[in-house]
């Protein structure tokens, strides 16, 4: 199965529902956040919020694949990476900058080739971002750093250090610690189900994929259909 570079670099993490969102509204929010951050480079909150809004807009472009999505998503992600990195430098002991920077790298990576992304050092930057976010506050964004880091280790190429044991431990940690919340990330069960499938654990894979599909995770439903 083809892996997109965002998946290769951990990312393909949406942390949002699969229902399509309003792209013009997301763009407006991203533009406003960037404008605020660019007017005050020393404002930590303004910078991480710009990274977040750019990620949300870029990620939705990737999902919807609207006309011209790749160039627009790449530009949004680059802006997000810029402001996220500024945030990490302003307050390196705060989680938000690291987390949203890492997710913006994922969106950017979905728009370029694997070789380009790796040659730009994005594997190391993504790992550092998510590991730092995890260490600072793994409960942030409903356990986002836990799931992000697990996905990173799951789909990293073998030659770059893929570690399914670490991935499974992190998915278990997320599901045990955050899966019971009111609005759990449906991707968690999909990611773990896909991992079980790759390991040949069909029963465990089916259970997780059925859970994800029941929450509306479209890729899980597709994978279940392929398994029949």
Name the one residue in this structure whose structure tokens are 């994978």: 223
- Each residue's pLDDT, cut to its tens digit, for the chain (228 residues) gives 344 433 434 344 434 334 567 999 999 999 999 999 999 999 999 999 999 999 999 999 998 988 899 999 999 999 999 999 999 999 999 999 999 999 999 888 888 865 677 778 888 999 999 999 999 999 999 999 999 999 989 978 888 889 999 999 999 999 999 988 878 899 999 999 999 999 999 999 999 999 999 999 989 999 999 987
Residues 177-226 pLDDT 10s = 998 887 889 999 999 999 999 999 999 999 999 999 999 998 999 999 99
Task: Report which secondary-structure segment, H or E, holds 137.
Answer: helix 122-137
**Fold exhibited by the domain 5-137:** 1.25.40
Specify the pLDDT at position 63: 85
Tokens of 126: 């993504």
Q: Where are the domains of the chain?
A: 5-137
Q: Can you give the pTM of this predicted structure?
A: 0.87
Q: For residue 80, what are its two tokens?
A: 């997000």
CA distance 63 to 58: 9
């Amino acid at each position: 199965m083809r892996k997109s570079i965002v998946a290769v670099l951990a990312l393909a993490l949406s942390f949002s529902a699969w229902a399509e969102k309003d792209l013009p509204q997301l763009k407006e929010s991203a533009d406003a956040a960037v404008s605020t951050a660019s007017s005050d480079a020393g404002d930590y909150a303004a910078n991480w919020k710009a990274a977040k809004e750019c990620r949300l807009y870029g990620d939705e472009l990737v999902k919807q694949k609207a006309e011209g999505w790749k160039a627009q998503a790449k530009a949004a992600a680059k802006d997000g990476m810029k402001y996220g990195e500024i945030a990490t430098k302003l307050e390196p002991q705060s989680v938000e900058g690291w987390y949203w920077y890492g997710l913006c790298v994922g969106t950017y990576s979905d728009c370029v080739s694997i070789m380009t992304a790796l040659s730009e050092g994005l594997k190391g930057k993504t790992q550092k971002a998510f590991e730092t976010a995890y260490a600072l506050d793994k409960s942030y964004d409903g356990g986002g750093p836990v799931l992000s880091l697990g996905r990173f280790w799951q789909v990293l190429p073998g030659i770059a250090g893929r570690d399914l044991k670490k991935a499974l431990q992190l998915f278990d940690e997320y599901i045990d610690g955050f899966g019971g919340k009111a609005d759990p990330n449906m991707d968690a069960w999909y990611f773990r189900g896909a991992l079980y499938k790759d390991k040949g654990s069909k029963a465990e894979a089916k259970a997780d994929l059925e859970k994800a599909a029941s929450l509306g995770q479209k890729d899980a439903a597709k994978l279940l259909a392929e398994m029949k």
